[in-house]
C-alpha cells in the first residue's frame, strides 16, 4: 500500500498532470474563443481586404486600358473579389460584364445598384471613417454579398464585392485547420510534458533513493549529473555531501577502532599492572616472612648453639640476596622499558658468548648440561655490548632453568633477513603454542609454579623484550622436535621497525 502511494505521488506524474492541465485549459480557451469570435474576426479581416482592394482600384491609372484591364484582373484574383468601376455613375468596368461575355447585368452606381435598378436589396449598410461604405446585399437569386463602395473626392467610384458564402466557407476551413494544428500541438505538448517531467524528476528520484541508502550508511551510489542548472548543481552538492559523510564516517570508524584498541591496550596494561603488583607482593611476601621468622627466633634465643645461629643467619642472608636480585631485575626492566642510551660498536660475538658461558659454568655443571657454541671466532655484530650481553645472559639463564639433567644447550647464529640472529637452543619440553606470547610477560612462568628453589622470578624474558623493543629488533621463540629455540636479532645495523 505504501509503494502504491509512492507511485501515485511521484513528482514526474504530478508535474506532467499540472503542465497538461495548463495546456488543456489554454487549448479550451482558444477553441471557445475561436467558436465565438473567429467568424466576426474573419469578416473584419475581409472588410479590411475589401477596403484595401477598393482604394487600390480607385488609385489605378485607367488611361492605358489594356494595362489597366490586366492590372484589374490581377487584383481580382489576388483579393478574390468582384470589381465595378463607375465614372459619374456610368459603369466603365465590371467583373460581371466581363464574366458574362460582355453583356451588362444592369448594374449602375451605388444608388442605381441597390435602388434604381433594384438589382439587389440592401440588408445592412454602414459607413466607415475612410469615406467608404460597407453593405450587405442580397441579389434576386438569393446570393448574399459583402460590398464596399468608395468614391473619394473625384468623379470615379469603385464597388468591390465578395460572396458571403465564400467568406463563411473560408472561415470554417481556417477554423478547422486551426483546430487541427491546435490538436497536433497539444499532442506534441503532452509528449513533451512526459519527457520533460521524467527527465526533470529523474535526478530527484535518484537523490531520494540515495538519501534512503545514506540513512542506512550506504554511500556507494552517486547521483548522475546531466545538466548545469539548479538540479544539476543540487546533484553535485548531494554527491559532495555523500562523499563528505562517507569520509567522516570512515574517519570516525577508524577513530573508534583506534579508541577500542587503546581501551583494550589500557585494560591489558591495567591487568598487567595488577598482576605485576600481585606478583611482586607475592615474591616479597615469602622472603620477608622467612626473614621475620628467623630474626624473631634469634631475638627470642631459640638458637642456643653457634651452628643453629649460623644457619638462621645464612637463611636470612640468602633471602636478602634473593630480594636484592629481584629488585635489581625490576630496576633493569624499568630502565630498559623507559629506553637506554645506545652506543653501537663492533662486538666480537664469540668472545661475548664464551664470557657469558664462563659466568654460568657452575650452573651448567650442576645439571651436567652439554653446552655447545656454533659461532665462528671472527664473527662480529654491530650492537651495544651491554644490551647484547643482557639478552644472551637471560636467554642462557632461562635455558639452564628449563633444561633437564644431562640435557643440551647450544648457542649459534644464522642468517636472518639482511643480517644475522643469535639463537639459544635447549633440549627439553616444548612451550605450548597458546603461551608463546605470554612467556614474555613479567613474572610469567611456563610451568605455572611459584617454586623459589632456583631463584627464578619470571623477569628474564620481560627484560629481553624491553631491550629488543628499545632497539627495534626482532625476537621470538619456536619449538623444535627436541626442544625450544629463543632468538633475537642483535645486529642493530639491520634492525628496523618491528613488523
Distances (CA, A) of 204 to 94, 138, 207, 349, 467: 73, 67, 5, 75, 63
pLDDT in tens, 120-143: 778 888 888 888 888 888 877 778
- Other C-beta atoms closer than 10 Å to the C-beta of 292 total 12
Let me know if 336 is exposed, middle or buried by CB neighbors in 10 A (0-12, 13-18, 19+): buried
- Phi, psi (rounded to 5 degrees) for 274: -65, -45
pLDDT in tens, 185-195: 878 877 877 77
Ranges 354-363, 458-467, 474-483: which has the least confidence: 458-467
Query: Are 484 and 407 spatial neighbours (Cβ–Cβ below 8 Å)?
Result: no
Ranges 251-260, 399-408, 444-453: which has the least confidence: 444-453
Let me know if 494 is exposed, middle or buried by CB neighbors in 10 A (0-12, 13-18, 19+): middle
In angstroms, the CA 214 to CA 207 distance is 10
Cell numbers 448594374 label which residue? 107
Compute the average pLDDT of residues 37-59. 82
In angstroms, the CA 371 to CA 349 distance is 16
Query: Are 53 and 150 spatial neighbours (Cβ–Cβ below 8 Å)?
Result: no
Which pLDDT value is given to residue 3?
Answer: 44
In angstroms, the CA 363 to CA 375 distance is 22
123-139 in b/e form (b: 16+ CB < 10 A) is eeeeeeeeebbbbbbee
Name which residue leads in pLDDT, 255 or 467.
Answer: 255
Name which residue leads in pLDDT, 99 or 307.
Answer: 307
Ranges 36-40, 146-150, 316-320, 397-401: which has the least confidence: 36-40
Contacts of 210 (CB under 8 A, 6+ apart): 221, 222, 223, 238, 242
From the CA atom positions of the chain, what is the Rg in Å? 61
* Most confident of the ranges 304-313, 315-324, 361-370: 361-370
pLDDT in tens, 421-430: 899 999 988 8
Q: Say if residue 107's pLDDT is above 60.
A: no
Compute the average pLDDT of residues 241-263. 86
Which pLDDT value is given to residue 459?
Answer: 73
Contacts of 351 (CB under 8 A, 6+ apart): none
Closest CA to 333 of 436, 233, 440: 440
Let me know if 483 is exposed, middle or buried by CB neighbors in 10 A (0-12, 13-18, 19+): buried
Q: Say if residue 19's pLDDT is above 60.
A: yes
Question: Would you give the DSSP letter of residue 449?
Answer: -
Which pLDDT value is given to residue 340?
Answer: 62
Amino acid at each position: 500500500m505504501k509503494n502504491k502511494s509512492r507511485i501515485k505521488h511521484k513528482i514526474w506524474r504530478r508535474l506532467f498532470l499540472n503542465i497538461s492541465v495548463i495546456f488543456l485549459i489554454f487549448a479550451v480557451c482558444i477553441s471557445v474563443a475561436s467558436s465565438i469570435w473567429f467568424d466576426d474576426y474573419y469578416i473584419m479581416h475581409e472588410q479590411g481586404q475589401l477596403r484595401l482592394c477598393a482604394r487600390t482600384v480607385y488609385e489605378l491609372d485607367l488611361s492605358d486600358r489594356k494595362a489597366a484591364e490586366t492590372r484589374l484582373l490581377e487584383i481580382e484574383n489576388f483579393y478574390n473579389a468582384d470589381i465595378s468601376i463607375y465614372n459619374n455613375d456610368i459603369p466603365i468596368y465590371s467583373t460581371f460584364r466581363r464574366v458574362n461575355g460582355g453583356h451588362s447585368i444592369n448594374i449602375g452606381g451605388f444608388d442605381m445598384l441597390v435602388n434604381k435598378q433594384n438589382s439587389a436589396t440592401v440588408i445592412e449598410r454602414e459607413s466607415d471613417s475612410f469615406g467608404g461604405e460597407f453593405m450587405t446585399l442580397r441579389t434576386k437569386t438569393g446570393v448574399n454579398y459583402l460590398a464596399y463602395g468608395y468614391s473619394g473626392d473625384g468623379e470615379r467610384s469603385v464597388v468591390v464585392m465578395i460572396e458571403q458564402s465564400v467568406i463563411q466557407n473560408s472561415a470554417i476551413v481556417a477554423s478547422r485547420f486551426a483546430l487541427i494544428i491546435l490538436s497536433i500541438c497539444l499532442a506534441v505538448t503532452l509528449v513533451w510534458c512526459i519527457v520533460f517531467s521524467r527527465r526533470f524528476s529523474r535526478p530527484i528520484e535518484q537523490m531520494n533513493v540515495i538519501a534512503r541508502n545514506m540513512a542506512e550508511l550506504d554511500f556507494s551510489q552517486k547521483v548522475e549529473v546531466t545538466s548545469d542548472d539548479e538540479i544539476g548543481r543540487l546533484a553535485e552538492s548531494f554527491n559532495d555531501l555523500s562523499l563528505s559523510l562517507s569520509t567522516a564516517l570512515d574517519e570516525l570508524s577508524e577513530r573508534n577502532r583506534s579508541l577500542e584498541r587503546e581501551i583494550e591496550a589500557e585494560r591489558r596494561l591495567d591487568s598487567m599492572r595488577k598482576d605485576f603488583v600481585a606478583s611482586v607482593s607475592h615474591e616479597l611476601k615469602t622472603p620477608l616472612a622467612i626473614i621475620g621468622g628467623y630474626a624473631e627466633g634469634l631475638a627470642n634465643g631459640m638458637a642456643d648453639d653457634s651452628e643453629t645461629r649460623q644457619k638462621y643467619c645464612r637463611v636470612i642472608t640468602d633471602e636478602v640476596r634473593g630480594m636484592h636480585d629481584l629488585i635489581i631485575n625490576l630496576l633493569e626492566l624499568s630502565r630498559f622499558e623507559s629506553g637506554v642510551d645506545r652506543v653501537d660498536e663492533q662486538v666480537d660475538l664469540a668472545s661475548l658468548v664464551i664470557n657469558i658461558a664462563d659466568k654460568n659454568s657452575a650452573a651448567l655443571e650442576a645439571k651436567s648440561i652439554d653446552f655447545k657454541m656454533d659461532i665462528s671466532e671472527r664473527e662480529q655484530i654491530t650492537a651495544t655490548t651491554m644490551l647484547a650481553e643482557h639478552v644472551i645472559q637471560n636467554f642462557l639463564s632461562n635455558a639452564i632453568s628449563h633444561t633437564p639433567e644431562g640435557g643440551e644447550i647450544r648457542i649459534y647464529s644464522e642468517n636472518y633477513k639482511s643480517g644475522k640472529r643469535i639463537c639459544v637452543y635447549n633440549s627439553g619440553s616444548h612451550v605450548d603454542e597458546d603461551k608463546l606470547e605470554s612467556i614474555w610477560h613479567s613474572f610469567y612462568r611456563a610451568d605455572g609454579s611459584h617454586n623459589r628453589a632456583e631463584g627464578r622470578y619470571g623477569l628474564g624474558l620481560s627484560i629481553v623484550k624491553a631491550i629488543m623493543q628499545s632497539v627495534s629488533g626482532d625476537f621470538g621463540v619456536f619449538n623444535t622436535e627436541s626442544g625450544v629455540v629463543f632468538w633475537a636479532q642483535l645486529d642493530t645495523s639491520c634492525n628496523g621497525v618491528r613488523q
